[in-house]
């Protein structure tokens, strides 16, 4: 198995003829992702270089292809509209790559689309190696296997996945949940899915400063996944309070969101916290060996 | 984008929230002119973003034009004293002259976005006029919260429940639900991240008035409100943001620090991890810098010049994880950038991965730069070079 | 409350929907004054609530002040011709003088509340300028609908989907989602029951303009918009509503008909059933009247006088189901009302149930009124008496 | 059994100290309804003449009494707020008596309170005879039995119930769904409940002009309750189009909401339509006899 995404997930791309959309459509297609079409209003009837049908609306795309998943590449002012359109057309899984979506837009969409799983916004997407890749992640770093990876960042995730792959530790599903303060799917929601995934034998949590997603993930692991090998990493330990570093969500406000609090939470849950990404494979191998 | 008090109060007025009558003055002369012939006592307040104005002597009473001028001069004479987040302090560029309220009670109310609940949260306390974190420590039972379902929005019962739960003075009760309605409307309409009234005053004659105003707008939503652009000009500049914008990277993507190791990475998470790697290797960074996607020659050059010219970097550690971009292309971009720049040269340590990464490293070696294979190795090397420099 | 075209267009303007430039004139002189020196051709339109203005010759072209005055005089000279719903026609009290658009295409769009779906519904057709019910018959495929989830509200994709589904001319596409956004905002903000643009014109120079405006406000929401009170004064009076208001019953609770049997009941459903009962007994009612709860002497008297003085009733059938009120109290109220009224007397047939109903009937008999035991019996008796009268 | 309401339903009254609220609280109390308290902001801590506790908020009332049902007597501008407050406090069944609620308020409340059953607004409430009465209906006309009654009006319902009771036909639950264009619970939703109620042996549908509730009810009966004796009545057969008679919802617009359409729908579903209320008991007795 794997979570959220597999070989048969039928996926469309919203904004498929835009610069970003067409570039990443090609990469996803070449990875072997089951893309079934795309949407650009006014370009219905065209075909992409890969031969994918372009539709004017998500409703038409879903009717013609049976798509259940969407990957959204549209500018920030239109991201909420794209998500509503997907929801209204019956899409159940949406990945929103767009960075810079107003936080109230995300807040409202998350509240008004019950039953649709949203990954992001401001995220690199996700991959179930060997099956499908949705978003902007580089396919070549992945290898199919038993490690679930959840992360708030992009390149750092690829870095960590690359380290895992080089160490022979393949992945079940890797999810970049996004760097914004409000995101559609949190670490805990990913962990809840991993809990029921037989392919996933261990988990890497790649957190960063800001918010309390890491603390909640630690508590969830302690309560629901005490037996599972889990390793964590926290980026931004040396960040000053009051300034967000790159990600809108990576900000320490007062006593909230500090690396100390996150590290303490992981350690209290029995989860080792790597000092540097390069330590992750060894920590993981160690935990897997103890279990076996 | 944090607003000044007078800007926040302007939004309050537009939304129907009572504020003291006031005048925004750019200098002591304007204060005096406004108070010419004005009766009673007035409050002159420094318009700054930093907290702690009262303790810093930046809020003073005045009666009449002459006293108004002199306290205004005193307030503007010195900047706000520095603190950890603002080591340079903050100059006082304007003043708010405000009717002095005869305050009977002070309460607190705010609306912000709760990340964990993914909902707006309204926070109310019967203790106002002091830092809410202090109240949370000393009188936790006085703080009431309501998490708003965005599909419903604000409804008056929320204000009633909060007033009862926070045990607000009964004098607040009648107006409170309507004040919160206006505050929620403002919060929602302008894409606000935080709006705070501290204190929300109950005057001796029974009015409920916003005595202070704190508003944080969402930078990502500012495109919807072109009218706020003029307000931005009045705000103290964040030099890092300005420099980042000039270099063509996002305003959140660059931040300076006192160390000697310049850093740059592609991706915010990797850039943070790069800072941490330098610290792990015993060094101190000169900056946080996310170059973003497409690390082409022009972009690399801009970033290099940004770091060399505005920080104390003695070495520049470039950490590129070539997810999609090719290693040889990035290497050529870096070499071209260094050939083109007119800025002074400092040693480069470059960690580069991705397709054709060996070819990339060869190109770098030929250009007399230091290619490394891992982030940790690069951090160690950069720290070593910074010590030598 | 239905708005006149010029009022609807004023709301459109406030909401950012393009309308032709125009002037609202109260008489031919004002039309002439406005057209003095104005260039080009203008349209002069009667401001009435009744439909069919074009066919009735109440929309005319004019160039210049003198022609403007003369067409205005013609339009205002006669009222709109009567129809089944408005047997008296409708006087023309004002005019809208409007820029003549060079129209390339006409479409239709409207937002109303769908009762069955319990959602707002947006209706669009590529055929505009004719009655939508006619379009529904002749070109059903041209009509596209979208049911809006109120927790989401309007979002631009809805406009795109509708434009594609209704096959609007491509000239509309770019502006259409934003026009619907403004229309939905108006619909939601002002508690509107129906807003219709028919036609929504695409001009030869590519603008999308609301050429007509139909807006129905929710009477129950008017308390939120005191600014609309002045507009109400300009609307043709609904005499039945006015009379009802004067008698102190709800404006929906009284409606006159041409028959001879006056009726009154407590409760709208019972009042409708009372009308039906009279029809079943072979009679024709003079009115529908719901006296509401508390049928006390004052209220009964007001209602009696309302019916006797404003309808052709020859007999008054009072049908009270005493759910909670006591029969004897109602009877005493009726007797008192009849003793107090100065209006002419017509025979009363009274059906009365509830606690102490026998006592009630005794009181009525003693006052020479006709008590009956059932609604059917009362209807028959009232019809019989009306024939005799 | 019965639907929506029984002897054990714990009921509060919102607006319990107002003129309407206190009057009808007394009547409900005397009927034997299981009232557990009421709400009037600012009067928390008081007691009603019946000894019921008054609370400042619904949340407090629910916490103290375990109430699940509410009956709302507040002026029209405050009705939506009262419903939201009930919903937020965990109430699952709300009866809104208030007449004159802006239609957009009702629309928004109905869309934003999933899982809470709302009866009304602008309705007389409901009664499960012998068990409980919520609203403003006169208790003395009811008798416990097997007839379910659904109606869009008030006094006409009492009239019909009175006729049934006099004919010896007791009732399971009688619901006045309300006279507004948008209501929380339609005929079909009531029928769906009656379908699973063993006490209900037959149903009376008391419709009126306007809307399409009657047509949908007829279709539902034909499909899901073909064996159940059902009798209908339509008020306002002699109403002119374009003018609402008393109820905001009783309006014929164009070809919609005509009595002809409703009568045809009932007859197509095999449901006899009484010409006058007084015919209902006989029609019902006849249908019950055929079945027995």
Q: Do C223 and D111 touch (CB under 8 A)?
A: no
List C-alpha distances in Å: B228 to B11, B37, B219, C15. Answer: 11, 33, 11, 21
Q: Do A41 and C160 touch (CB under 8 A)?
A: yes
Mean pLDDT, residues A116-127 taken together? 97
Q: Do D278 and C191 touch (CB under 8 A)?
A: no
Mean pLDDT, residues D146-166 taken together? 95
What class, spelled out in words, does domain B239-388 have in CATH?
Answer: alpha beta
List C-alpha distances in Å: C12 to B3, C19, C307, D183. Answer: 33, 7, 41, 29
Residue A248 reports pLDDT greater than 90: no
Q: Do C252 and D156 touch (CB under 8 A)?
A: no
Among D14, D15, D39, D41, the strongest candidate for a mutation testing the B interface, having the largest count of B CBs within 10 A, is D41
Subunit partners of chain C (3 or more CB pairs within 8 A): A, D
Q: Do C269 and D77 touch (CB under 8 A)?
A: no
CATH number listed for the domain at residues A1-122 = 3.40.50.720
On the 0-12 / 13-18 / 19+ scale of CB atoms within 10 A, B344 is exposed
Of B370, B372, B248, B352, which Cα lies nearest the Cα of B301?
B248
Catalytic site residue C108? yes
Among D238, D254, D277, the strongest candidate for a mutation testing the C interface, having the largest count of C CBs within 10 A, is D238
Tokens 């209908």, located at residue: D232
Paired tokens of B275? 């800072």
Residue C354 reports pLDDT greater than 90: no
Q: Do A276 and B255 touch (CB under 8 A)?
A: no
Res. A249 pLDDT band, cuts 50 70 90: confident
Closest residue in A to C150 (Cα) is A112
Q: Do B275 and A236 touch (CB under 8 A)?
A: yes
Res. A80 pLDDT band, cuts 50 70 90: very high
Tokens 């109120």, located at residue: C150
Q: Do C155 and A42 touch (CB under 8 A)?
A: no
Ordered by start, the domain boundaries in chain C are 1-19+102-236, 21-100, 239-388
Nearest to C173 among A42, A85, A113 (CB): A42
Which range has the worst mean pLDDT, A56-65, B326-335, D72-81, D183-192? B326-335
- CA dihedral of B325, B329, B331, B333, whole degrees rounded to 10: -110
Tokens 């309501």, located at residue: B146
Q: Which helix (H) or strand (E) holds C186?
A: helix C176-189
The stretches of chain B forming alpha helices (DSSP H) are 5-15, 28-35, 64-77, 132-138, 156-165, 170-173, 176-189, 229-234, 239-247, 268-280, 297-310, 327-340, 357-366, 375-388
Residues C105/C172, Cβ–Cβ less than 8 Å = yes
Looking at CA atoms only, how far is residue C194 from chain D in angstroms? Answer: 12
Exposure b/e, B274-295, CB count within 10 A at least 16 = b? bbbbbbbbebbbbbbbbbbbeb
Closest residue in D to C272 (Cα) is D236
Residue B294 reports pLDDT greater than 70: no
Write down the CATH superfamily of domain C21-100. ATP-grasp fold, A domain (3.30.1490.20)
Question: Chain B residues with CB inside 8 Å of D87's CB?
Answer: 152
Looking at CA atoms only, how far is residue C67 from chain D in angstroms? Answer: 37
Which residues 172-211 in chain B show a CB within 8 A of chain D?
Answer: 173
Looking at CA atoms only, how far is residue D29 from chain C in angstroms? Answer: 14
Looking at CA atoms only, how far is residue A108 from chain C in angstroms? Answer: 8
Nearest to B133 among A247, A250, A254 (CB): A254
Neighbours of C234 (CB within 10 A): 15
> What distance in Å separates the CA atoms of residue B163 and residue B177, rounded to the nearest whole number?
8
Q: Do C164 and A85 touch (CB under 8 A)?
A: no
ipTM of the complex: 0.93
Residue C294 reports pLDDT greater than 70: no
Residues A209/A234, Cβ–Cβ less than 8 Å = yes
CA angle C386, C387, C388 (to 5 degrees): 90
Subunit partners of chain A (3 or more CB pairs within 8 A): B, C
Neighbours of B82 (CB within 10 A): 12
Subunit partners of chain B (3 or more CB pairs within 8 A): A, D
Question: Chain A residues with CB inside 8 Å of B267's CB?
Answer: 153-156, 246
The yes-or-no answer to whether C1-19+102-236 and C239-388 have a common fold is no
Give pLDDT, residue D291. 76
Question: Chain D residues with CB inside 8 Å of B156's CB?
Answer: 78, 81
Residue C313 reports pLDDT greater than 90: yes
Name the average pLDDT for chain A.
95
Give pLDDT, residue B389. 59
Closest residue in A to C170 (Cα) is A42
Closest residue in D to C240 (Cα) is D243
Q: Do A158 and B253 touch (CB under 8 A)?
A: no
Of C164, C196, C194, C158, which Cα lies nearest the Cα of C178?
C158
B167 touching chain D per CB within 8 A: no
Give pLDDT, residue B292. 82
Question: Chain B residues with CB inside 8 Å of A105's CB?
Answer: 221
Residues in chain A: 292
Q: Do C164 and A44 touch (CB under 8 A)?
A: yes
Give pLDDT, residue D42. 94
Q: Do D237 and C279 touch (CB under 8 A)?
A: yes
Percentage of residues in chain B having pLDDT higher than 90: 77
Domain A138-292 belongs to what architecture?
Answer: 3-Layer(aba) Sandwich (3.40)
DSSP string for D197-264: -TT--EEEEEEESSSSHHHHHHHHHHHH-TTS-EEEEEE-TTPPTT---SSTT---BTTBT-HHHHHH
Q: Do B155 and D57 touch (CB under 8 A)?
A: no
Range(s) for CATH 3.40.50.261 in chain A? 138-292
Q: Do A157 and B269 touch (CB under 8 A)?
A: yes
At what angle are helices A79-88 and A58-65 packed, to 10 degrees? 40
Closest residue in C to D210 (Cα) is C115
Q: Do A156 and B280 touch (CB under 8 A)?
A: no
Nearest to C164 among A56, A78, A113 (CB): A56
Residues C159/C183, Cβ–Cβ less than 8 Å = no
Phi-psi region of D125 (alpha: psi -120 to 50; beta: other; left: phi over 0): left
Any bridge partners for residue C96, and if so which? C24, C45
Res. B230 pLDDT band, cuts 50 70 90: confident
Range(s) for CATH 3.40.50.720 in chain A? 1-122
Mean pLDDT, residues D258-267 taken together? 95
Looking at CA atoms only, how far is residue C224 from chain D in angstroms? Answer: 9
Residues B359/B328, Cβ–Cβ less than 8 Å = yes
Phi-psi region of A175 (alpha: psi -120 to 50; beta: other; left: phi over 0): beta
B164 touching chain D per CB within 8 A: yes
* C248 phi, psi to nearest 5 deg: 85, 20
Q: Do B160 and D44 touch (CB under 8 A)?
A: no
- The larger pLDDT score, comparing residue C368 to residue C47, is at C47
Which residues 7-66 in chain C show a CB within 8 A of chain D?
Answer: none
Closest residue in B to D108 (Cα) is B152
Percentage of residues in chain C having pLDDT higher than 90: 77
Among C113, C115, C152, the strongest candidate for a mutation testing the D interface, having the largest count of D CBs within 10 A, is C115
Name the average pLDDT for chain C.
93
Question: Chain B residues with CB inside 8 Å of D57's CB?
Answer: 157, 160-161, 164
List C-alpha distances in Å: D280 to A258, B28, C276, C353, D204. Answer: 73, 86, 15, 18, 8
Residue D249 reports pLDDT greater than 90: no
Res. D48 pLDDT band, cuts 50 70 90: very high
B326 touching chain D per CB within 8 A: no
Mean pLDDT, residues D91-116 taken together? 97
**What digits encode the pLDDT tens for the residues C130-184?**
888 889 989 999 999 999 999 999 999 999 999 999 999 999 999 999 999 999 9
What is the count of residue pairs from C and D with beta carbons less than 8 Å apart?
Answer: 161
What residues of B are annotated to the active site? 108, 196
Name the average pLDDT for chain B.
93
Can you name the CATH fold of B1-19+102-236? D-amino Acid Aminotransferase; Chain A, domain 1 (3.30.470)
List C-alpha distances in Å: A2 to A129, A195, D156. Answer: 9, 11, 61
pTM for the whole thing?
A: 0.93
Cβ contacts of residue C98 below 8 Å, gap of 6+? C20, C21, C22, C23, C42, C43, C44, C45
Question: Chain C residues with CB inside 8 Å of A15's CB?
Answer: none
Question: Chain A residues with CB inside 8 Å of C156's CB?
Answer: 78, 81
Mean pLDDT, residues A217-227 taken together? 96
**What digits encode the pLDDT tens for the residues C96-143?**
999 999 999 999 999 999 999 999 999 999 999 888 888 998 999 999
C321 touching chain D per CB within 8 A: yes
Subunit partners of chain D (3 or more CB pairs within 8 A): B, C
Mean pLDDT, residues D38-51 taken together? 97
> Strand C287-289 to strand C254-256: parallel, antiparallel, or no bridges (unpaired)?
antiparallel
Looking at CA atoms only, how far is residue D83 from chain B in angstroms? Answer: 10
**What digits encode the pLDDT tens for the residues B20-67?**
999 999 999 999 999 998 999 999 999 999 988 989 999 999 999 999
Tokens 């979570």, located at residue: A3
């Amino acid at each position: 198995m794997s979570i959220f995404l597999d070989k048969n997930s039928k996926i469309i791309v919203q904004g498929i003829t835009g610069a970003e959309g067409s570039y990443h459509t090609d990469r996803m297609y070449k990875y072997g992702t089951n893309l079934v079409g795309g949407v650009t209003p006014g370009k219905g009837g065209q075909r992409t270089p890969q031969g994918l049908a372009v539709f004017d609306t998500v409703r038409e795309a879903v009717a013609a292809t049976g798509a259940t998943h969407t990957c959204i590449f549209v500018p920030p002012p239109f991201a909420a509209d794209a998500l509503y359109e997907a929801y209204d057309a019956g899409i159940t899984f949406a990945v929103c790559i767009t960075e810079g979506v107003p936080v109230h837009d995300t807040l409202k969409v998350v509240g008004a689309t019950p039953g649709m799983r949203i990954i992001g916004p401001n995220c690199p997407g996700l991959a179930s190696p060997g099956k499908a890749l949705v978003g902007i992640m580089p396919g070549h770093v992945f290898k199919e296997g038993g490690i679930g990876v959840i992360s708030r960042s992009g390149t750092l995730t690829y870095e960590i996945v690359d380290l895992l792959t080089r160490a022979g530790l393949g992945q079940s599903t890797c999810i970049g949940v996004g760097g914004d303060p409000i995101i559609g799917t949190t670490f805990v929601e990913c962990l809840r899915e991993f809990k029921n995934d037989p392919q996933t034998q261990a988990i890497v949590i790649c957190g960063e400063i800001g918010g309390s997603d890491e603390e909640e993930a630690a508590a969830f692991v302690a309560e629901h996944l005490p037996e599972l090998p889990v390793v964590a990493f926290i980026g931004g330990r040396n960040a000053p309070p009051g300034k967000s570093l790159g990600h809108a969500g990576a900000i320490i406000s007062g006593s909230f969101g500090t690396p100390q609090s996150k590290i303490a939470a992981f350690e209290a849950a029995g989860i080792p916290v790597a000092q540097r990404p390069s330590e992750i494979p060894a920590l993981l191998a160690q935990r897997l060996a103890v279990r076996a | 984008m944090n607003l000044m008090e007078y800007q926040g109060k302007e939004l309050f007025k537009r939304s129907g929230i009572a504020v003291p009558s006031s005048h925004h003055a750019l200098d002591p002369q304007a204060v005096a002119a406004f108070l010419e012939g004005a009766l009673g006592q007035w409050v002159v307040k420094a318009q700054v973003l930093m907290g702690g104005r009262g303790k810093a002597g930046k809020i003073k009473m005045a009666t009449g034009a002459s006293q108004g001028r002199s306290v205004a001069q005193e307030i503007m004479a010195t900047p706000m004293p520095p603190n950890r987040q603002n080591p340079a302090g903050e100059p006082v560029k304007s003043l708010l002259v405000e009717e002095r309220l005869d305050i009977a009670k002070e309460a607190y109310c705010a609306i912000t976005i709760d990340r964990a609940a993914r909902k707006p949260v309204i926070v109310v306390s019967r203790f106002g006029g002091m830092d809410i974190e202090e109240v949370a420590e000393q009188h936790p039972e006085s703080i009431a919260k309501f998490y708003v379902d965005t599909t419903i929005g604000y409804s008056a019962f929320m204000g009633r429940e909060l007033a009862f739960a926070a045990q607000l003075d009964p004098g607040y009760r009648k107006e409170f639900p309507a004040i919160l309605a206006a505050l929620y409307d403002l919060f929602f309409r302008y894409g606000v991240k935080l709006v705070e009234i501290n204190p929300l005053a109950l005057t001796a004659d029974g009015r409920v008035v916003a005595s202070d105003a704190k508003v944080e707008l969402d930078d990502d939503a500012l495109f919807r409100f072109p009218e706020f652009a003029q307000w931005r000009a009045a705000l103290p500049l964040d030099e890092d943001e300005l420099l980042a914008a000039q270099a063509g990277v996002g305003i959140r993507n660059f931040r300076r620090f006192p160390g000697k190791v310049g850093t740059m990475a592609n991706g915010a998470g990797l850039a943070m991890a790069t800072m941490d790697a330098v610290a792990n290797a015993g060094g101190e960074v000169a900056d946080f810098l996310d170059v973003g996607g497409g690390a082409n020659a022009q972009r690399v050059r801009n970033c290099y010049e940004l770091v060399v010219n505005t920080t104390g970097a003695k070495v520049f550690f470039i950490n590129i994880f070539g997810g999609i971009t090719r290693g040889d292309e990035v290497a050529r971009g870096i070499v071209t950038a260094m050939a083109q720049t007119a800025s002074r040269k400092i040693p480069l340590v470059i960690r580069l991965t991705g397709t054709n990464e060996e070819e990339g490293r060869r190109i770098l070696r030929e250009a007399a730069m230091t290619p490394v294979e891992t982030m940790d190795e690069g951090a160690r090397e950069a720290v070593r070079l910074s010590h030598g420099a």
